[in-house]
Amino acid sequence: MTVAIAPQRSRHRSRLRLVLGQIGYQSVLLVRSPAGAFFAVVVPLMILVALQFLYGQQTIEGVRSAQFFTAAMAAFAVMNVGYITTITGTVIARDEGILKRLRGTPLPPVAYIAGRIGAAALMTAGSVTVVILVGFVIYGISLDGSLIGVTAVTVLVGILCFTTVGLAATVVVASTDVALPIAYGTLLPLCFISDVFIPSGGGPGWLTTAASILPVKHLADALERAFATPPGNATLNGGDLVVLAAWAAGAFTVSVLFFRWEPRPSGPGIRRRLVKLIHAAVRR
């Protein structure tokens, strides 16, 4: 009878190096994929220009429209990179078998997730900078040190929130075919009820309540309010940031517990998937 080899501990690469490597890798993927740049920069700029064209002469919530829309589109850029490209990129990688291949290597899953968040943060920093520069150079918005600081912190918390929510969403997105429809199909309606494109004229109460629970409104409000304060007086909107951080924590937990590394075999529909998830959660 042949005896089995005795198990041996191996040396490992440090987690920090692996995370940094993943951030670099995910960034290259974002920068090289045409869709990445399109969602991050082109879409928010197009909408900024369109909204300015329509409402350019008006004052919104007491400030010039450009001031309001630049903040709104900075928030929209965060959601595009964090939520949209995370869902599409992750689901494509899963359907292609790339995630399953990664799972067979010593790369810890958390390094992959951290890499996605880190790369999204870098990409967002770039796209928000472009949006704000366009607002500043073309539409002459006012900008100062306190506003830049507040924007940086808010964008960082926002990207953490929307990337983790995007990762958590991939748990229920069945395949590449439905990734983009589901991503925009959930984000766009929320943007409309959350004062991203147009300041709300007040909707039904339940809609306002829904918007105030979900993260979209809190990111948009946090940035819009900072951009609406008189120069030099921008302050962090703590309440909004706490809600965003809470969503990030919840979504991160869901991702770590239920993240799927393999394409779904053509089989159980979303209902069975949810039932299985609930069973799994109860067992844990």
Partner 1 sequence: MVGRSDSRGVVERSPAGARERRGMDTGAAAITVEGLRKAYAATEALRGISFVVPAGAIVALLGPNGAGKTTTVEILEGHRRRSAGSVSVLGWDPERGGRDLRERIGIVLQSAGFDRELTVREVLRLYASFYASPRSVDEVISLLGLDEKRSARTCTLSGGQRRRLDLALALIGDPDLIFLDEPTTGFDPNARRRSWEAIERLRTLGKTILLTSHYLDEVQRLADRVVVLADGLIVAEGPPSSLGGRDVSEAEVLFRLPDGAAFTDLPEAVRGVARLDDGTVEIHTDSPTKLLYVLTAWAVARGAELTALRIVRPSLEDVYLELTRNATEQP
Our finding on whether 282 is near partner 1 (CB under 8 A) is no
Residue 96 amino acid letter: E
Which member of 58, 62, 104, 206 binds partner 1 (CB under 8 A)? 104
The values of phi and psi at residue 228, to 5°, are: -90, -10
CB 261 within 8 A of CB 174: no
Chain positions 7 to 36 lying near partner 1, rule: CB under 8 A, are 7-13, 17-18, 21, 25, 28-29, 32-33
Our finding on whether 266 is near partner 1 (CB under 8 A) is no
Residue 21 vs 149, nearer CB to partner 1: 21
Residue 103 vs 279, nearer CB to partner 1: 103
| DSSP-assigned states of every residue in 183-232 | HHHHHHHHHHHTTSSS------HHHHHHHHHSHHHHHHHHHHHHHHSPTT
* All residues at 6 or more sequence positions from 235 whose CB lies less than 8 Å from its CB, including other chains: 146, 150, 226, 229
Our finding on whether 197 is near partner 1 (CB under 8 A) is no
Q: Considering CB under 8 A, how many residues would be counted as binding partner 1?
A: 33
Which member of 16, 262, 275, 278 binds partner 1 (CB under 8 A)? 262
Phi/psi zone of residue 61: left (φ > 0), alpha (ψ -120 to 50 degrees), beta? left
Residue 2 vs 57, nearer CB to partner 1: 2
Residue 107 vs 214, nearer CB to partner 1: 107
Half-sphere exposure for 30 (CA within 13 Å, toward CB): 30
Our finding on whether 270 is near partner 1 (CB under 8 A) is no
Q: Show the site string, 105-134: x = touches partner 1 by CB under 8 A, - = not.
A: xxxx--------------------------
Q: How far is the CB of 94 from partner 1 (least distance, A)?
A: 10
Our finding on whether 176 is near partner 1 (CB under 8 A) is no
CB 112 within 8 A of CB 255: no
Q: How far is the CB of 9 from partner 1 (least distance, A)?
A: 5
Distance, in Å, from the CA atom of 275 to the CA atom of 283, rounded to the nearest integer, reads 12
Residue 176: exposed, middle, or buried by beta-carbon count in 10 A (0-12, 13-18, 19+)?
middle
Our finding on whether 5 is near partner 1 (CB under 8 A) is yes
Query: Looking at 4-12, 192-200, 217-225, 275-283, which segment touches partner 1 (CB under 8 A)?
Result: 4-12
Residue 47 vs 93, nearer CB to partner 1: 93
CB 66 within 8 A of CB 135: yes
Residues that bind partner 1 (CB under 8 A): 2-13, 17-18, 21, 25, 28-29, 32-33, 93, 96-98, 100-101, 103-108, 262
